[in-house]
Amino acid sequence: TMGNWLVNHWFSAAVLAAWLGINIFLFTYYFLFFDRDERYFYTRAILGSALAWARASAKCLNFNSMLILLPVCRNLLSFLRGTCSCCRRTLRKQLDHNLTFHKLVAYALALLTAVHTIAHLFNLERYNHSQQATDGSLPAVLSKLHLKGSNKWLNPIHSNQTTVEYVAFTTIPGLTGVIITLALILMVTSSTEFIRRNYFEVFWYTHHLFLIYFVGLVIHGIAGLVRGQTEESMEEVHPHRCAHYLTHKDEDCSHDCCKDPEFGSIPAESWKWVLAPVLLYIFERILRVWRAQQKVVVTKVVMHPARVLELQMQKKGFSMEVGQYIFVNCPAISLLEWHPFTLTSAPEEDFFSIHIRAAGDWTESLIDTFQQQKTEMPRIEVDGPFGTASEDVFQYEVAMLVGAGIGVTPFASILKSIWYKFQQADQTLKTKKIYFYWVCRDTGAFAWFNDLLASLEQKMAESGKVDFLTYRLFLTGWDTSIANNVALRFDTTTDTVTGLRHKTIFGRPMWNTEFAAVAAAHPRSVVGVFLCGPGALAKSLQKSCHQHSSLDPRKVKFYFNKENF
């Protein structure tokens, strides 16, 4: 429910409200300023309200450009997480919404860029129209002021042959505007979920156009094409008093409104907004380079079926928590590319590991490189770990863990860690029972996870704790050959698809049935439900949590947690 969400995400809600509020304030304040201020009386005579639209959106563009880099300063966020380790976990966890905020700011930039560009197209059209007008109207007279002296001009277009295309590609604001808009379009379109998952390299390299974006942004306003009346000129010939005389001026003029108004440019100020975040980001990148230089020893390489590579590594001073991720670079393949991978080892183990499936050029090359190396291992660089630990799992007597597709990866770390804690009778572990649901199209790419489940199953059987973990596999994509195979071997003790003791179920989980079964088995427990998977699944699990929680405080309660990996 909305109330629950606000309680758990008050910090995110506060940040969101503040961000929206500041944007609305900046836009409204500067819109009214440019729409009413006397210094822009003559500018408005030519441009109308398009001036206010362009300037207000420019202010908001500066504000959001200032924010866009902050959520991607990973080391800064880790530092913040460390300093607020005394804060409640809900607050620390909300720092993991950094990429959601980054995307939100990016969409705002895209929207504001559209507003800013459209407003300036109107402005260009009006400047052009006024320059060509010969009717002696105020805009026409103002557009001819450039003939009377270099400091007098208000209309940047001084010739009747000028076109929008000419201004766009020959002036500094025009050209930088076109370039940064193109950079922004490319960055937004290449960062869709599909491209990030399947063509990470495209996303990674295109995103570095942000360098061009920031350089262009700082240069964009330097030429000062939009002008306002200077303070001195305002005192001498105030538009309220003198505007009328501009269009009705005698040759032998003698009163105090005879002098032509003078104009000055609005100074470029984007650099003031973005200087601090850019410096912070440069420091972040230096820190990443320094951290990457620390030696990583690959202690074991395992090649699993379906081209999945497991790397077990050690690095001095590396300490991890469950649910965290690292960035990996292999200089032999690419000096620039860093790819994120969820850690699949438990903190209790003396190494850290990742599982890499073939999904794109870089991962393919990495798997090939390790397969071909017989003597010397390729060098690996690691940055991290990042992210907040998923320790909430240990706080519930009963935990329902749901992994969908690739979302099963973080649960490798969690399940292993729970088992180690359970064996060592760790006091921090409250868990007595785990239900694990694995939903995927085919287990091919996750045969390694099967092996992990099988070894856990074996260890539990050996120590007489078989009931500690109940898991169910749901295959949602299956063909007839599997179906025939299953029909033939239906009476075997282990499963035909996975070789595990628990049978694979074909089709999607009936969550109502699953929740009802857990509620019946634990009528007085508080059950934590954890998902790593798509948003649609989150909705149905949340609904089930709500439906199956008892109103009686002494009876079963389901609490939903979605992990952001």
Q: What is the pLDDT of residue 498?
A: 55
CA 13 to chain centre: 17
- Going along 387-538, which residue ranges are E strands? 398-404, 433-440, 469-475, 504-506, 526-532
Q: Is residue 248 included in any domain, yes or no? A: no
Distance CA 330, CA 339 (A): 10
Are the C-beta atoms of 304 and 447 separated by less than 8 Å?
yes
Distance CA 402, CA 435 (A): 8
Tally of domains within the chain: 3
Last residue of a domain, one of 337, 366, 386: 386
512 shares a domain with 408 = yes
254's CB contacts (< 8 A; 6+ apart) are none
Q: Is residue 156 included in any domain, yes or no? A: yes
Q: Token pair 């880099």 is at which residue?
A: 69
Q: What is the pLDDT of residue 140?
A: 94
List the chain pLDDT tens, one digit each, 565 residues: 566 666 667 888 899 999 999 999 999 999 999 999 999 999 999 999 999 999 999 999 999 999 999 999 988 888 887 776 666 666 777 777 888 999 999 999 999 999 999 999 999 999 999 999 988 899 999 999 998 877 789 999 998 888 888 888 999 999 999 999 999 999 999 999 889 888 888 999 999 999 999 999 999 999 999 999 999 999 999 999 999 888 887 777 778 888 889 999 999 999 999 999 999 999 999 998 888 889 999 999 999 888 889 999 999 989 998 888 999 999 999 988 899 999 999 999 999 999 998 888 899 999 999 988 777 889 999 998 988 777 778 888 999 999 987 778 889 999 999 888 888 877 778 888 999 998 888 777 678 888 888 888 888 888 888 888 888 888 887 654 455 444 444 444 555 455 566 667 888 899 999 999 999 999 999 999 998 888 889 889 989 999 999 888 888 999 888 765 4
The type of residue at 307 is R
Last residue of a domain, one of 327, 361, 386: 386
394 shares a domain with 542 = yes
446 shares a domain with 414 = yes
Q: Is residue 69 included in any domain, yes or no? A: yes
Distance CA 195, CA 103 (A): 15
Last residue of a domain, one of 359, 386, 413: 386
Q: What is the pLDDT of residue 75?
A: 86
Residue 343 is classified by DSSP as: B
| Helices 361-372/200-207 angle, 10° precision | 120
320 shares a domain with 227 = no
Q: Is residue 312 included in any domain, yes or no? A: yes
Q: Is residue 531 included in any domain, yes or no? A: yes
Q: What is the pLDDT of residue 489?
A: 44
351 shares a domain with 404 = no
95's CB contacts (< 8 A; 6+ apart) are 77, 80, 81, 388
CA 11 to chain centre: 17
Q: What is the pLDDT of residue 52?
A: 98
534 shares a domain with 434 = yes
Domain that holds residue 113: 2-171+223-243+259-287
Bridge partners (DSSP) of residue 330 are none
Q: Is residue 307 included in any domain, yes or no? A: yes
Q: What is the pLDDT of residue 488?
A: 44
Q: Is residue 211 included in any domain, yes or no? A: no
164 shares a domain with 66 = yes
The enclosing domain of 418 has a CATH number of 3.40.50.80
507 shares a domain with 359 = no
**CB count in 10 Å sphere of residue 74:** 18
398 shares a domain with 382 = no
Are the C-beta atoms of 247 and 133 separated by less than 8 Å?
no
445 shares a domain with 503 = yes
Query: Can you list the alpha helix ranges (DSSP code H) found in 293-360?
Result: none
Name the residue among 390, 383, 382 with its Cα closest to residue 323. 390
* Token digits of residue 278: 């850019």
Distance CA 291, CA 284 (A): 10
Residue 24 sits at φ, ψ, to 5 deg, of -65, -45
Q: Is residue 191 included in any domain, yes or no? A: no
Distance CA 325, CA 387 (A): 7
Q: Token pair 């199209």 is at which residue?
A: 441
265 shares a domain with 373 = no
C-alpha angle with apex 406: 403 to 409, nearest 5 degrees? 70
How far, in Å, are 15, 174, 517 from residue 107 at the CA level?
16, 22, 43
369 shares a domain with 423 = no
Using alpha carbons only, how large is the chain's radius of gyration in Å? 32
The enclosing domain of 378 has a CATH number of 2.40.30.10
